[in-house]
Amino acid sequence: MLPTLQLGPLALQVPGLVLLAGLWLGLTLSERRARRIGENPGDLFNLVFIALIAGIIGARLSYAITYPSAFAANPLSLLSINPGLFDPLAGVFIGICAAAIYIYRKQLPFWSTLDALTPFFAVLAVAQGIAHFAAGSAFGTPTDLPWGINLWGATRHPTQIYEILLAAIILLAVYLIDKSQLGQTSGFTFLSFIALSSAARLFSEAFRGDSTLIGNGFRSAQIISWLVLAACLALLGRRVQLARTTEKTSQ
């Protein structure tokens, strides 16, 4: 684990650096794909940039609205770089809304744009696994298996390694899907990525030692992943059906 990298007086947060590197690499791959198929890579850059900025501002404002008295007493805290002062869920929601508005206003094709962004999302998923490994978060349950790692006072499932491996396999899979005939159906690459990522989380969550439990011991992340997987499989079927109908009409 390497949560911080001390460079002289500077303590660099390794998980944050890894995510930034993932952001850059993922966006570069998405832009390269856009150039290859004749789309405008500038649109992708603007889309990601707007979504990120809106997400960051939204996450901070949402947090400030939740705890108004603390921020009223210290208004400068609105500009603090403390990651603990963000509301991640609100940030994701506002970022998605901003992206949707940009797509609508620029009249970008919805599913094709998501397909173009899939390499970006897939690389970010790998980076997230590496960030978890660096921080020692998303740790596993204790195990006697020979590949267990010594972490937080016990030999545990290396869930961060599982996460990195699964994300890398999915990155390769979506690359192959995108190149295949199925990838020609708009939305298929993106929906495949979401479906595979949900399935991977559903599988790996069983080995996590920090799961949030609901009901009678169900892991909430697995329930959410199963629902997302079901929705993706239904949408994938629908996309294929629509493509076949269009093909028949054109014949």
The residues that touch other proteins, with contacts defined as CB under 8 A, are 3-4, 6, 9, 11, 13, 67, 70-71, 73-74, 76-77, 80, 82, 84-85, 136-137, 139, 141, 152-154, 181-182, 184-185, 199, 202-203, 205-206, 208-213, 216-219, 222-223, 225-226, 229-230, 233-234, 236-237, 240-241, 243-244, 247
Nearer to other proteins, 47 or 191 (CB): 191
Nearer to other proteins, 71 or 162 (CB): 71
CB of 219: closest distance to other proteins in angstroms?
A: 6
Calculate helix-pair angle for 110-135, 159-179, nearest 10 degrees: 160
Nearer to other proteins, 11 or 37 (CB): 11
- Whole-number Å distance between alpha carbons of 56 and 41: 23
Who contacts 51 (Cβ-Cβ below 8 Å, separation ≥6)? 95, 96, 98, 99, 102
Nearer to other proteins, 46 or 80 (CB): 80
Chain mean position to CA 31? 18
- Whole-number Å distance between alpha carbons of 121 and 41: 16
Secondary structure of residue 12 in the 3-state scheme: strand
CB of 18: closest distance to other proteins in angstroms?
A: 15
